[in-house]
Amino acid sequence: AAGVIQSPRHLIKEKRETATLKCYPIPRHDTVYWYQQGPGQDPQFLISFYEKMQSDKGSIPDRFSAQQFSDYHSELNMSSLELGDSALYFCASSRVEGTHGYTFGSGTRLTVV
């Protein structure tokens, strides 16, 4: 079965640089979520999109932005990177109706140096 695809798997950036993370949800899933997991922390909700519109917003810094495109894939753009942005970034997708499957991708490990 198709899973949630995230790219890249690993990313190393320098401070003040920009990073773009991509997420391809499971086909027919209409909702995408982004989570940030710092070292030794639990995942924290950043933002979600339902049918290409932002549906909820969590503790996402103003330096971050995200969108969902017409093919339902989503991108998380992170600018002016700081050392504290080093984390695992997970994307998850679900379908509002039906069995409410909630599947996570393998994550992108971002290291800011």
- Interacting residue ranges for another protein, rule: CB under 8 A: 31, 33, 35, 41-45, 48, 50-51, 55-56, 58, 88, 90, 92, 94, 96, 100, 102-104, 106-107, 109
Residue 34 C-beta: closest distance to another protein, Å: 10
Q: Which is nearer to another protein, 16 or 58 (CB)?
A: 58
- How far apart (Å, rounded) are the C-alpha atoms in residues 70 and 10? 26
Distance between start and end Cα atoms, the chain:
36
Phi, psi of 85 (to 5 degrees): -80, -10
Q: Which is nearer to another protein, 11 or 88 (CB)?
A: 88
Q: Which is nearer to another protein, 19 or 48 (CB)?
A: 48
- How far apart (Å, rounded) are the C-alpha atoms in residues 66 and 21? 9
- How far apart (Å, rounded) are the C-alpha atoms in residues 103 and 26? 8
Residue 62 C-beta: closest distance to another protein, Å: 19
